[in-house]
């Protein structure tokens, strides 16, 4: 087992090495922006492997700028995702600009929130001393999102840089692939699967409380991880089967409760009435409605 402090780059190298003995016809590696270096792309493509890698649109790189400047029409693929392929002969790879309208709305809202927060932080800063203003500048520098919109004038005053708002990048992300056979749709879908894997890890760590692990023995730690993975698998099966998110289903299922009632005639436990929406969810999941009465006891004679 690799140590939990093992870097992602070392982990992928180890996985790629371990897979040499597997009988796989073709492997497509999907990686995020942290693996976009030329050396890493070459490593992932060694041995006939293919790769799909996310690129930084805001990096200011020549390739990202060139891809954004190219004209062309978007093609709608899965759901509302739109994809435009851009040819950059000098780069040697294929580039896809993906646009998600829903994500664009979310990006605009997040940016507006960060700009508002920055405006509140620097309000009245012109009256601060040079030292206090420098301290404020240092504090803002530790806020990556907010700091991106900060501009310092030649006189040392703090201002919001509206020119860096970059509304044209809302909802967009850039993909790179050296595979000439994959369609633009397959490349976009492949990267979307990476986002689903990352969502799975988030759910494992938050919804399922994978960490912290209080076990000491390795076999118990492995059992804990496997149980969390099986729980995540059940969640995904339920989501795919119903078309609903797990939080929405959980809210419905938590409406089912059992109350305990005690009187002269005895004690019984009875479930609450189940709303139609919850009954419909149980029916879709092919789960029987729990019985009305769960326990009935009478006092001894």
pLDDT in tens, 33-48: 766 677 777 777 776 6
| pLDDT of 297 | 87
Spatial CA neighbour of 185 closest among 53, 62, 76: 76
Give me the number of domains the chain comprises. Answer: 4
Beta 266-271 vs 258-263: how paired, if at all?
antiparallel
For 106, residues 6+ apart whose C-beta sits below 8 A from its C-beta are 171
| pLDDT of 4 | 41
Report the C-alpha gap between 87 and 96 in whole angstroms: 9
Tell me whether residue 211 is in a domain: yes
Task: Provide the β-strand partners of residue 173.
Answer: 98
One domain, residues 292 and 238: no
| pLDDT of 118 | 92
One domain, residues 44 and 184: yes
Tell me whether residue 176 is in a domain: yes
Contact 67, 89 (CB under 8 A): no
Q: What's the N-to-C CA distance of the chain in angstroms?
A: 63
- Does 261 have pLDDT greater than 60? yes
Percent of the chain with pLDDT over 90: 20
For 12, residues 6+ apart whose C-beta sits below 8 A from its C-beta are 29, 31, 35, 44
One domain, residues 238 and 279: no
Report the C-alpha gap between 164 and 69 in whole angstroms: 17
Tell me whether residue 2 is in a domain: no
Percent of the chain with pLDDT over 70: 91
pTM of the predicted protein model:
0.61
Phi, psi angles (nearest 5°) of residue 238: -65, -40
Contact 74, 84 (CB under 8 A): yes
Report the C-alpha gap between 278 and 248 in whole angstroms: 11
Q: Specify which of 82-91, 132-141, 175-184 reaches the highest per-range mean pLDDT.
A: 132-141
pLDDT, average across residues 58-83: 80
Tell me which residue range forms the domain holding 265.
Answer: 258-297
One domain, residues 60 and 189: yes
One domain, residues 57 and 181: yes
- Does 301 have pLDDT greater than 60? yes
Record the tokens describing residue 252, joined without a space. Answer: 């419905």
Tell me whether residue 127 is in a domain: yes
Tell me whether residue 252 is in a domain: no
- Does 1 have pLDDT greater than 50? no
Burial class (CB in 10 A: 0-12, 13-18, 19+), 123: exposed
Tell me whether residue 269 is in a domain: yes
pLDDT digits (tens, 9 = 90+) for 110-135: 888 989 999 999 999 999 999 999 99
Spatial CA neighbour of 175 closest among 71, 74, 63: 63
Cα–Cα separations (whole angstroms), residue 55 to 16, 95, 113, 214: 22, 9, 25, 38
């Amino acid at each position: 087992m690799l140590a939990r402090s093992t870097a992602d780059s070392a982990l992928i190298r180890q996985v790629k090495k371990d897979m040499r003995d597997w009988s796989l016809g073709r492997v497509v590696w999907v990686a995020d922006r942290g693996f976009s270096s030329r050396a890493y792309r070459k490593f992932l493509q060694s041995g006939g492997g293919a790769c799909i890698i996310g690129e930084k649109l805001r990096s200011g790189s020549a390739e990202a700028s060139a891809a954004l400047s190219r004209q062309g029409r978007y093609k709608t693929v899965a759901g509302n995702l739109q994809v435009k392929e851009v040819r950059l002969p000098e780069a040697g790879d294929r580039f896809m600009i993906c646009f998600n309208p829903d994500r664009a709305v979310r990006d605009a809202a997040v940016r507006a929130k960060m700009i508002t927060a920055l405006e509140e932080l620097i309000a009245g800063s012109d009256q601060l001393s040079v030292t206090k203003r420098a301290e404020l500048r240092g504090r803002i520098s530790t806020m990556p999102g907010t700091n991106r919109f900060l501009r310092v004038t030649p006189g040392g005053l703090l201002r919001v840089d509206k020119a860096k708002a970059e509304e044209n990048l809302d909802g967009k992300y850039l993909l790179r692939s050296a595979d000439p056979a994959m369609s633009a749709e397959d490349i976009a879908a492949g990267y979307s699967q990476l986002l689903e894997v990352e969502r799975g890890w988030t759910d494992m760590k938050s919804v399922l409380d994978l960490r912290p692990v209080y076990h000491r023995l390795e076999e118990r730690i492995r059992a804990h991880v496997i149980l969390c993975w099986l729980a995540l698998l059940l969640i995904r099966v339920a989501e795919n089967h119903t078309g609903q998110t797990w939080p929405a289903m959980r809210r419905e299922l938590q409406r089912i409760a059992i109350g305990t009632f005690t009187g002269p005639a005895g004690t019984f436990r009875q479930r609450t009435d189940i709303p139609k929406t919850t009954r419909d969810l149980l029916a879709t999941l092919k789960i029987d409605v729990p019985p009305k009465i769960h326990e009935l006891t009478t006092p001894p004679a």
